[in-house]
Amino acid sequence: MQQTPSISVIVPAYNEEDAIRFALERFVELGYHQKYELIYINDGSQDDTAKIIAEYPVKLYNHNVNKGYGAALKTGIRKAHGEKVVILDSDGQHDPKYIGQLIDLLADHDMVIGERDTDSHQVKRRQAGKKLIRRVGEYLVEQKLPDYNSGFRGFDRELIKEMLHLMPNGFSFSTTSTLAFLKEGYTIATFPISVAERIGRKSNVKMVKDGSKTMLLLLRIIMLFNPLKIFLPLSLIISALGVAWGIVGYFIAERFPNSAIVILVFGIIMFFIGLLADQIAMLNRAKR
């Protein structure tokens, strides 16, 4: 009877025929194909990506159409048998040599993230957007964020499976999983990694398009984990405006304006809507 592997390594791939051999060759060179369950998800590639993967001793699952980075990871996690899962990109940026160090940390932590060091390659035009997203994310989760969108990370498989219904199908899987684990109070470890420039084609990630999607995603995540973080400040601001307008009206017309009362009541209603949203969010977060 074949022993169930304790570690599953999942690599999503889409049109990476120029880069795909890098990690595959490293897996074989390091003997990982004999130690771990290696899973590749071909996410509807239109080039020779799947054909190249099939040449190596790894498990290959194919999507008939391109479903997205997150959807490919979901497929891999559902197919995996390991107690722990490790994910990394297929574009040559992540060197599999770091997997051993990540696995060591996974023994004592629920999530481990490979944080890109200062020498790692990063696209400069995305830096401003990433800083903004980080600040918003840190406000939402009320603590410092690790490298929230690093694609090199590991999880306890059962924990991430419980959260798959919360994970998006697009590029924001990494961001969502980071926030979800933080808000649920799970332990997260980080360690430095060096990331190289991607091999072959340019990245599919667009700063404006995907950056705006990530910002919207952050708001959706906080609505799921802590809606009062949005509704309480909004309620206080609206109520303060109502009181201020009422005071001004009292000194000018010697009476509290009806419009001020409407604004104040609206602020109070927003607070109770936030409480209701918080209760609904608790039900939606029920583990599956």
Looking at per-residue pLDDT, the higher value among 185 and 283 belongs to: 185
Domain of 280, in residue numbers: 228-284
Same domain, 242 and 265: yes
Q: What does the mean pLDDT of the chain come to?
A: 86
pLDDT band at 242 (very low <50, low <70, confident <90, very high): very high
Q: Letter for the amino acid at 103?
A: I
pLDDT over threshold 70, residue 128: no
Is 2 among the domain residues?
no
CATH number at residue 51: 3.90.550.10
The DSSP secondary structure of 35-102, one letter per residue, reads HSEEEEEEES-SSSHHHHHTTSSSEEEEESS---HHHHHHHHHHH--SSEEEE--SSS-S-GGGHHHH
With contact defined as beta carbons under 8 Å apart, do 26 and 56 qualify? no
The fraction of the chain above a pLDDT of 90, given in percent, is: 55
pLDDT (tens digit per residue) in 193-202: 998 887 866 6
Q: Is the pLDDT of residue 132 over 90?
A: no
Structure tokens at 129: 């957007």
Express each pLDDT in 250-280 by its tens digit: 888 888 888 999 999 999 999 999 999 988 8
Question: Could you give the C-alpha distances from 112 to 6, 121, 249, 282, in angstroms and in order?
Answer: 16, 21, 57, 26
Look at residues 175, 197, 225 and tell me which one is the last residue of a structural domain.
225
SS3 111: strand
Query: Is residue 1 one of the residues assigned to a domain?
Result: no
